Structure 1
Amino acid sequence: MLFSTIVLYFYVRTLLQGEIEEELRSTEARIESSISNNNPVYQLPPMVEVTTVPKIGKEHLKDTLIFDPSQNEMEDFRELITYSKINNQNYRITVRTLIVESEDILIAVIISYLIVLLSIFIFLFYFNKSRTQKLWNPFFKNLEQMKLFSLSSETPISLLESDILEFSELNTEITTLTEKVRSDYKNLKQFTENVSHELQTPLAIIQAKIDTLINGEGLNDLQFEQLSSIQNDIQRLKQLNKRLALLSKIENDQFQNLSACNLNGILEYRIENLSDLYAIDIRLKSENEVTLTMDAYLAEVLCDNLLSNAIKHSSPNTPITVILDKNSLTVINSGTKAVLKPELLFQRFYKESDHTKSTGLGLAIVKKICDLYGFHPSYYFQNNEHHFKIKLKNA
């Protein structure tokens, strides 16, 4: 564009100069014709000047500056001076015409180019934008469908057809992939449910047989201690199986029975039960009634796991404080040091304690329940106390 601007500038200037010279020579010819016909000599300074001279001179064609009274400034003129002998008299004929300045030509060229470029840019921008939107519309529609895709839904993903080969192939691969993922998900879900269900029966049988042996006669102290250890391991295994099944159900979105759950009542009931099982002081501080819209069973599990975690990891003979308000639920228990890796605290099977009764799944279940209902769990250590806080979204 820069090169073409320079070329156009010189081309237009040359073209204008040629036209001006042609006009000057045409005017000079008309003046000569008028003098030949004995007409009065035409004078119009500074445009036309005719004077008699003693001899014929040389023709001149040049640019000159002449003061223009009408503009009150110096102007550029193209000047043609010719000599002619007419009717035995020598004449000097001077013809001038105002020319367009080079700066004006350059400005006109640049402005014209800018207007053309701007027009082309606007046209191409909106043309390409509309065309691009039309071309990419199936892609973005299908992207929205992929965002809404759910493994638990039985409805197959519905993708918009496209004339573009790459998008068409992408649709085919996405459909195949989603169907494969959904199939694998169903198989895994079925496998998990089957394993959880089938484990219950043999564990219960083993538990019953061990109870029979323990309650029987003829056991020495070593045998009793070993059977008791096996019984504790079976209890832990049953608890682990139950919690894994619960995690699987939460992830599979199988808790759809929403109801208004009074968190104050649930906490009071669970605290009363736990106080009977453990010799520990649990204090509930609540000024308002807090009601959550969630599955009632999961509300109980949430409270149970938070309280059980506090009981297991609290210092001996120290109270546990539960603070409930309309925005949060906080469980506080005493401790000697903070958790080393709090960012891992809500992950499965993460334990910083060697407590044999802990499965490492309690807080993971709390996190899953919070994710399900939009709550935000957090932990911090302050004044030798562990604080587990749940920010409540829909209270």
Structure 2
Amino acid sequence: MKLLTKTTLYFIILMLPVFAAGAFYLFHQFNKEIKHETDEELVNDHLEWLRYLDTASVNNPIFRFQTQEFRLIPTHQPVQQKFKLKGVALYQETEDTYAPFRELSQVINLHGQHYQMILRKSMIEKDDLLKNIITVMLLAFGGLLLFVVLSNWFISRQIWRPFYRSLDKIQQLQLNKMETLRFAPASTYEFNQLNKTLNQMTHRIHQDYINIKELTEDAAHEMQTPLAIAQSKLELLLQDENLSGEQLKNIGQAGEELQRLSRLHHNLLLLAKIENQQFPVTLQTDLCQVLTQYLSLFEELVHEKELTIETSLVPVARWPLHPALADILISNLLGNAIKYNYPGGRIHLSLTDKTFRIANTSHLPEIPPANVFQRFRKNNPVYTNSNGLGLAIVKKIGDSYAIHITYQYLDNLHIFTASR
């Protein structure tokens, strides 16, 4: 969840109970005030009726007049010194429902006779008024809450804009383009400090990248020359007819080790270049075309081992890979599947726009999962001619280009899967 969304959500969660409590408190206060005003009206009417009844004769029709709002009923109850106020609900025949009233009742003495006087006032209009007030208040509170939330969201979004700009630049960061990367100053102090720190950090990273790049280039140039000279000298020695068989054997082994050292040197430099992102992707590579090309190149080896190759390939599979790295990925996986297979074995190839899967038979046991992509790990004597970097390079290519490389051993098959 984004920070802006989270802060807005927390703000709403905190504000809703506050607004609800405020609305409930105002409703309670309005209701209390309306009841108080109604009770005051009843008390005033009660005083007026007492003054009038004191002067009215017993034969006055008022003693026989009864409505929902006024009743004067003869009773044997004792005279009450204080009137009583309460809320009642009376049936309304016209609307077939009960309506709220406030009622004042008191037993009084008139002309030597006890009467119970009941005065009532309808609360219907006041309740409607209260409902209208509450509705208006709720609409006002809702509008105010919406305004506050939207204002907070827009203000926060504006304040956090420099942060998101810097974050977007970091997400698109590439080592080979870091020299031109600059984080602009911000009006907010904290973000301005962050951008200054990021500028310093990217400058240092770029300088380290340049130094490592120069080191790998220099190493490639300086080491390749003596290796080539040593190899050529050994080849000249092999042409000497005066050498014994033991000497020729030793020279041949030295030449093999030099070739192995040359391959190791090449692979280590390749790993360094991949880690330094020196293979930018400008166009997507058709992996089907690359796979078809290497199947053709390895055709003699396949024929020599009498291997059966089963394929399930889409006509075009464009992957976000540098062409050179696509060649290395396919050649390493396919080369291993052929090299470590037994005569008459099988290789199954499956390729889609999202997945490349290669499975091969072999007499070799399952590779320990912890070691399969480790550098210089060789767990079987058959790997003596390998420098242990092939699968490490495959894994590094996958990590650098968001391609998930996995290995599993199933039904006596070594299965490598690349998916994106």
Of residues 330, 334, 339, the one that matches 1:303 is 330
Of residues 157, 174, 185, the one that matches 2:209 is 185
Residue 137 (1) aligns with residue 165 (2) = no
Q: Give the match for residue 385 of structure 2.
A: 357
Q: Give the match for residue 323 of structure 1.
A: 349
1:127-172 CA deviation, whole Å, 9 max, x = no partner?
A: 3223322222332232222211221215633546543322222222
Residue identity in the other structure for 1:62: K
Alignment CA distance shift 1:81-1:217 (3 Å)? same
1:220-257 CA deviation, whole Å, 9 max, x = no partner?
A: 56655544443322211110111122233344243657
* 1:84 to partner: Cα distance: 8.6
Residue 97 (1) aligns with residue 120 (2) = yes
Residue 17 (1) aligns with residue 17 (2) = no
Q: Give the match for residue 414 of structure 2.
A: 386
Asked if the contact 1:35/1:41 (under 8 Å) is kept, the reply is no
Residue identity in the other structure for 1:364: A
Give the fraction of aligned pairs with identical amino acids, expressed as a percent: 24
Alignment CA distance shift 1:65-1:222 (3 Å)? closer
Aligned partner of residue 245 in structure 1, secondary structure:
helix
* 1:386 to partner: Cα distance: 2.2
* 1:173 to partner: Cα distance: 1.5
Aligned partner of residue 210 in structure 2, secondary structure:
helix
Residue 335 (1) aligns with residue 363 (2) = yes
> Structure 2: any 5+ residue segments left out of the alignment?
1-20
Q: Out of 207-216 and 368-377, give the one that drifted further.
A: 368-377
Alignment CA distance shift 1:250-1:291 (3 Å)? farther
* 1:218 to partner: Cα distance: 5.8
Q: TM-score, normalised by structure 1?
A: 0.72
* 1:368 to partner: Cα distance: 4.2
Of residues 254, 259, 267, the one that matches 2:279 is 254
Residue identity in the other structure for 1:96: L
- Take 1:333 and 1:51, find their aligned partners in 2: how far apart are those partners? 110
- Take 1:114 and 1:307, find their aligned partners in 2: how far apart are those partners? 71
* 1:199 to partner: Cα distance: 0.9
Aligned partner of residue 346 in structure 1, secondary structure:
coil
Asked if the contact 2:332/2:390 (under 8 Å) is kept, the reply is yes
- Take 2:317 and 2:165, find their aligned partners in 1: how far apart are those partners? 36
- Take 2:88 and 2:328, find their aligned partners in 1: how far apart are those partners? 102
Q: TM-score, normalised by structure 2?
A: 0.69
> Structure 1: any 5+ residue segments left out of the alignment?
none
Q: Out of 67-76 and 299-308, give the one that drifted further.
A: 67-76
Residue 45 (1) aligns with residue 70 (2) = no
* 1:306 to partner: Cα distance: 2.2
Asked if the contact 2:337/2:347 (under 8 Å) is kept, the reply is no
Q: How many equivalent pairs are there?
A: 374
Q: Counterparts in 2 of 1:1-395, with a 5 A limit? A: 1=21, 4=25, 8=29, 13-26=35-48, 28-29=50-51, 31=52, 44-46=65-67, 47=69, 60-63=82-85, 71=93, 76-79=102-105, 94=117, 96-98=119-121, 100=123, 118=142, 120-154=144-178, 156-159=180-183, 161-216=185-240, 219=243, 223-251=247-275, 252-254=277-279, 262-263=289-290, 265-272=292-299, 274=301, 280-286=305-311, 290-291=315-316, 293=318, 296-315=323-342, 317-319=343-345, 321=347, 323=349, 328=356, 330-341=358-369, 344-354=371-381, 355-370=383-398, 377-390=405-418
- Take 2:261 and 2:89, find their aligned partners in 1: how far apart are those partners? 111
- Take 2:385 and 2:36, find their aligned partners in 1: how far apart are those partners? 100
Alignment CA distance shift 1:245-1:65 (3 Å)? closer
Alignment CA distance shift 1:188-1:17 (3 Å)? same
- Take 2:368 and 2:253, find their aligned partners in 1: how far apart are those partners? 30
Alignment CA distance shift 1:187-1:237 (3 Å)? same
1:164-210 CA deviation, whole Å, 9 max, x = no partner?
A: 32222222212221222222122212212221221101112222333
Residue identity in the other structure for 2:121: L
Alignment CA distance shift 1:373-1:146 (3 Å)? closer
Q: Flag the structure with larger Rg.
A: 1
* 1:385 to partner: Cα distance: 3.1
Alignment CA distance shift 1:230-1:23 (3 Å)? farther
Asked if the contact 1:162/1:168 (under 8 Å) is kept, the reply is yes
- Take 1:67 and 1:180, find their aligned partners in 2: how far apart are those partners? 82
Alignment CA distance shift 1:256-1:64 (3 Å)? closer
